[in-house]
Structure 1
């Protein structure tokens, strides 16, 4: 016996089973359901076209420039070592000849003194004359040999195989901070050192009063420069500029990784800054005020302001943006409510500040020290909570993954080289190895 179409007010006989709703529908409603499904294909076409356009406009040079720079640095270092070796061997040859010349100069002086003695005394013998004549003849022979000196130099070709430079695809793996190992390296922080830190693949930048200090991957100090400016609000690394950016309260400084030179960006004196972060093209800076703004600065060809996001797009008038961190086209914002003294983390799109997710945190903000977070692998985040002496690992979907109690009290953290966690505490900087 046939049955009616289950759609409300439809008196037609059902003719087939619809896959999407598992109902026996009439031909008209089957056709409508099919049209709706087909309509859902159109956005896919638009997305594929957009992805295709994005792929066709990718700048290979921009993507690979940082890696090319590393190879260039390796080549320059090799050239320096070869040149140093070459100079050392040239000096070795010169030294051998100089030693021979000095030996003959001493002999020449000795003969000259003997002759002078005989002349002053106005007395000599045939034996003296013969001896002097023999000595001079021998010295002439030896000096002739100097001009004809030759060396046997054995060289071997410099063999460079592929193991000298290994290029591997990096595969991010999720970090599990619940099994964080004990710190294996500790650096003392002098009193009045600023808390901020920044890193790239090679080096870590810290302020250890009174200097800005550069450390290598094992936390060995490799360079430093006296910091005689005012407060340091935040730091970040720009791969585009190939320099560290140090954020003062009113000014922005560029720090050369190679020379540690400090250069103020004099064109930028717009406001009271609090936090900063970098993408490949833009420096994002949050302002130190209620209803914080986010200012975008183009990095090249010169650093200049290109956009300013204001409240309420950034946050409401009773909020501060304590920290801002860029990763994979997104911005993580640490937002503190000045009235409730509450704290939350929000993830926004870096291009338009569209809201993605938010997590309220069980923290009462008593002190005036800004709360910060750092990016982890797999689009996860780490919040440093100095009030409760905790660190919170947040998943890419905005869920609390791990709560790690940490002592001494943590204030700042960064993931260094992908498998090291650097944590700034009250009076020390600790380096952890992570899995």
Structure 2
């Protein structure tokens, strides 16, 4: 026996089951329901027409103009190199002929002097006459050879293979800082908030005085707990522990995002810590001192000490490691020279700290505050330059890719997922007056800086 129609106040019997809403409907309401669904197709038609119009106006020339400019620049550079090479070989040719001519000129001058001497003395012999005659004939012969061509030129065709110019499509998730959009969310934080932040696939962890706060992918504050353990130097996520690692001045803590509980790691000897990062098996921690060490701790089955890497392997006695980030078997180190006030980023093998590449950065370290970096997609790196208000993008093989201005001044950043960049910013004008010069490596609190957290969508190609 058929059921009554599911529509309120409809007394007709049902004629069918709607697949999309799983309701039994009479013939009239089934027809009306179908009409509503069909009506939803109309906006799709409009959207398709809009996209078709975009394709009609699509300009290949405009899209490829930057690439063509690079190719044109390459062609001009090649032409300059060929012209320089041509001029160099012409000079070599002139030098060969000038050498020959100069040699013959010297011989002519010698013969002329000898003849002049013989005439002045009014004395000569048959032997002198024969010698002069022979020398002049030989000189004529040599000059004939010069005039006829005393050199050969061998040339090879210039072979240009496809490897000279490689055109590659960008990776699907490759970041392009030059197209960084405007800020779409701002999280204001009170004074005395620490600047460190970390993320996993689910949450972004940051300190909003006096709490540790977890934000979800919609940038909503979902959980928080009171933080009572002093200065936070750094944070990182450990997939093995399924915990956030929080670095204090002398202590290390584990933060459980599910229970929002904080536990201190009791098995680690106290040192002055500055930065931390995790692989699947090891916790790496840099020490807060001139001539920084890198400590390694096994993560499982319990956290325990493995070894300490010391200067000069880590850095020189006048340098400190501001930041350390693990990715793909390698460690990125932000190293500051406190004498020269210079900065560099290095990528090293995590297993032995051998250097893969190193880049000196055009940053003068004026303020007593650390510099930080984070990993981007496609194994690229982002450096945060608070001194001049810039973000610097480094390729995976250690080349400067992009540099953009960013304001307010950024001091830390992390990638939250594949398309969201979280940047901590602040006004660092008070730092130069109140920074503790006796502890140049200490990460200052944000008590005077009124930090803001910016969330930005990153364009991917």
Scaled by the length of structure 1, the TM-score of the pair is 0.60
CA distance, structure 2, for counterparts of residue 301 and residue 397 of structure 1: 35
- Alpha-carbon distance between aligned partners in 1 of 2:207 and 2:292, rounded to the nearest angstrom: 26
Q: Is the 8 A contact 1:172 1:377 kept in 2?
A: no
Q: 2:452 aligned to 414, 428, 431, which one? A: 428
Question: Paired residue for 1:155?
Answer: none
Superposed, 1:48-59 pairs within 5 Å as none
Determine helix, strand or coil for the equivalent of 2:365. Answer: coil
Residue 393 in structure 1 maps to residue 388 in structure 2:
no
CA distance in structure 1 between the partners assigned to 2:326 and 2:240 by the alignment: 14
Structure 1 runs of 4+ aligned residues shifted over 2 Å read none
Alignment of 1:13-28 (within 5 A): none
CA distance in 2, matches of 1:400, 1:308: 31
**CA–CA separation in structure 2 for the residues paired with 1:356 and 1:218:** 37
Task: Report Cα offsets for 1:90-130 as digits up to 9, x if no partner.
Answer: xxxxxxxxxxxxxxxxxxxxxxxxxxxxxxxxxxxxxxxxx
Following TM superposition, by how much is the alpha carbon of 1:173 offset from its aligned partner in structure 2, in angstroms? 2.2
Distance 1:412 1:400 in 2: 19
Task: Please give the alpha-carbon distance, in whole angstroms, between the structure 1 residues aligned to 2:320 and 2:180.
Answer: 31
Contact 1:245 1:254 in 2 (8 A): yes
User: For the Cα contact (< 8 Å) 1:172–1:378, is it kept in 2?
Assistant: no
Q: Distance in 2 between matches of 1:193 and 1:268?
A: 26
Is the aligned partner of 1:359 residue 2:383?
A: no
Query: Which residue of the partner structure matches residue 221 of structure 2?
Result: 221
Aligned: 1:274 with 2:268: no
What is the CA–CA distance in structure 1 between the aligned matches of 2:452 and 2:228, rounded to whole Å? Answer: 21
Q: Give how far 1:349 is off.
A: 0.4
Q: Distance in 1 between matches of 2:302 and 2:338?
A: 36
CA deviations on 1:121-175 (whole Å, 9 max, x unpaired) are xxxxxxxxxxxxxxxxxxxxxxxxxxxxxxxxxxxxxx9xxxxxxxxxxx86211
Distance 2:365 2:269 in 1: 29
Distance 2:396 2:219 in 1: 29
Instruction: Verify the 8 A CA contact 2:173 2:418 in the aligned structure 1.
Output: no
Name the structure 1 match of 2:198.
198
Query: Helix, strand or coil: the match of 2:326?
Result: strand
Q: Does residue 1:331 correspond to 2:331, yes or no? A: yes
- 1:83-122 matches, within 5 Å, as none
Task: Tell me the alpha carbon deviations over residues 341-387 of structure 1, each in whole angstroms, 9 at most, x when there is no partner.
Answer: 10000000011101111111111111121100000111100000000
Q: How does 1:149-160 map to 2 (within 5 A)?
A: none
Which residue of the partner structure matches residue 343 of structure 1? 343
- The superposition leaves residues 287-317 of structure 1 with CA deviations (integer Å, 9 ceiling, x where unpaired) of 0011100000100111111011000000111
**1:276 CA drift (Å):** 0.3
Tell me, yes or no, if the aligned pair for 2:346 and 2:358 is still in contact at 8 Å: yes
Give aligned pairs, total. Answer: 266
Deviation, structure 1 residue 270? 2.9
- Corresponding position of 2:298: 298
Match of 2:261 in 1: 261
Q: Secondary structure at the match of 2:190?
A: coil
Paired residue secondary structure (1:236): strand
Q: Show the counterpart of 1:241.
A: 241
User: Distance between the aligned counterparts of 2:343 and 2:253, measured in 1?
Assistant: 29
Residues 26-65 of structure 1 mapped to structure 2, 5 A cutoff:
none
**CA–CA distance in 2 between the matches of 1:237 and 1:267?**
19
Match status 1:284 vs 2:284: yes
Output the CA distance in 1 between the equivalents of 2:172 and 2:340.
38
Greater RCO, 1 or 2 (C-alpha within 8 Å, sep 6+): 2
Q: Which residue of 2 aligns with 1:406?
A: 406
CA distance in 2, matches of 1:320, 1:397: 24
- Distance of 1:429 and 1:172 partners within structure 2: 27
Deviations 1:53-79 (A, max 9, x none): xxxxxxxxxxxxxxxxxxxxxxxxxxx
1:372–1:383 contact (8 Å) kept in structure 2: yes
Distance in 1 of aligned mates of 2:368 and 2:241: 32
Structure 2 stretches lacking a partner, 5+ long:
1-21, 23-170, 427-450
Query: What is the CA–CA distance in structure 1 between the aligned matches of 2:226 and 2:173, rounded to whole Å?
Result: 38
Larger radius of gyration: 2
Partner of 1:417: 417
Mapped to 2, the partners of 1:191 and 1:425 lie a distance apart of 13
**Structure 1 match to 2:208:** 208
Distance 1:275 1:209 in 2: 20
